[in-house]
Amino acid sequence: MKSIKNPDKRTWTDLVKRPTNFYEDIEQTVASIFKEIQAKSDVAVSKYSNLFDGVNLKSFEVSKEEIAEAIDQIPSELKSAISLAKSNIERFHEAQKTEKIEVETTKGVFCWKEKRAIQKIGLYIPGGSAPLFSTVLMLAIPAKIAGCQEITLCSPPDKSGKINPAILYAASLCGVTKILKIGGIQAIAAMTFGTETIEKVYKIFGPGNQFVTVAKQFATKFGVAIDMPAGPSELLVFADESANPSFVAADLLSQAEHGSDSQVILVSTSQQIIDTVSVEIKKQIKVLPRLEIAQKAIANSKLILVQTDEIALELINEYAPEHFIICAKNENFFINGIQNAGSVFIGNYAPESAGDYASGTNHTLPTNGFAKNYEGVNLDSFLKSMTFQKITSEGIQNIGKAIEIMAEAEGLQAHKNAVTLRLNELQNATK
């Protein structure tokens, strides 16, 4: 990790840059595949599944028999762990339900807001070296609570044409309505346009590599919403003398092992903590099965020494981390002052891994600085608000004149007439 001492504020723009860039050639590749799938449907999906995943499938949909087989393969210990995580995720997201908001803004004018589920959603679940079955829980559970009618899940198959059993088990457990063996750009395009065998969806959720991230953003050009423009995983830890250096190192490595383009940052007011954590990272990384991936991520990562908590907080808000861990004596200063972060973990015993799996919060979060203007996935991500208004004869008389004056001032005579006709009718009725 690169060690940086008391960086000049003028260098912060470069300091907070992520190691990932979305190049034009990726966008061109995405556009080309989208165009072909839009024109040739399942034929094109098969072509790119064969090209990128090395499989030639007769059917994309996972059968009931395959799901049953996968369920039998899952050890009971893992099933129990998933059950605990599912319970906590359900509890946290159920608590996010809100009641209808109704206001009588003027006598006889009733306005209210209600939420409705997005009917058709698509979930993208990576299935490569780290099949993220936990992401199935994070996305399918709130979708089910929200009342989404169709939940389509796409995940890339292995060379034998199968999806990881844990992904299938989690999907079955959480009420996914259709599971498809499709990965990458072609999965996002298929859910965007719909094909002979794949339903078009209204909103796409889920993480992925740079190609999937760009494909999701490209999908918005065709009227499909996405959860957020998320990219490679990242973590920032603030640690002072009260932190446990071995815990901090373990947390940093937990995100570094996600992918070679992940980034982890340690910000501290203590040189001793930085030095000790650095030693711990070198020790712990040696025993990781994903050593090579973690090493590449660590090469993109930073240890930053600052003079005060105030400078640290300002820098952290500028970085806007996906995950933010606070290990500090003055933790309330950071809790109250953090403005830009996807999810916050407080204290020596709150590892980021807890949020990834079983504490109950959602782990689908904004990266690459988007925590400045995006929130992580939550129950409302699967809902949309609709406003209603009911206006009585008394109500239109109370606000009608104001509407007429405003419409006329904007030069919109038909708008004015729509009110005038009603007011005239009411006036004539009283004669």
Instruction: List beta partners, residue 4.
Output: 304
Instruction: Report the C-alpha gap between 189 and 31 in whole angstroms.
Output: 10
Q: Which helix (H) or strand (E) is 86 found in, with range?
A: helix 76-94
Ordered DSSP codes for 217-245: HHHGGGT-EES----S-EEEEEE-TTS-H
What contacts 5, CB < 8 A, 6 or more positions away? 271, 305
End-to-end CA distance of the chain: 85
Strands (E), 256-382: 263-268, 302-305, 323-327, 343-346
Which residues are tagged catalytic? Answer: 322-323
Q: Is 106 exposed, middle or buried (0-12, 13-18, 19+ CB in 10 A)?
A: middle
Question: CB–CB of 86/173 below 8 Å?
Answer: yes
Q: Which residues contact 344 (CB under 8 A, 6 or more apart)?
A: 324, 325, 326, 335, 338
Burial 43-72 (b: 16+ CB within 10 A, else e): ebbbbbbeeebebebeebebeeebbeebee
Residues annotated within the binding site for Zn(2+) are 255, 258, 356, 415
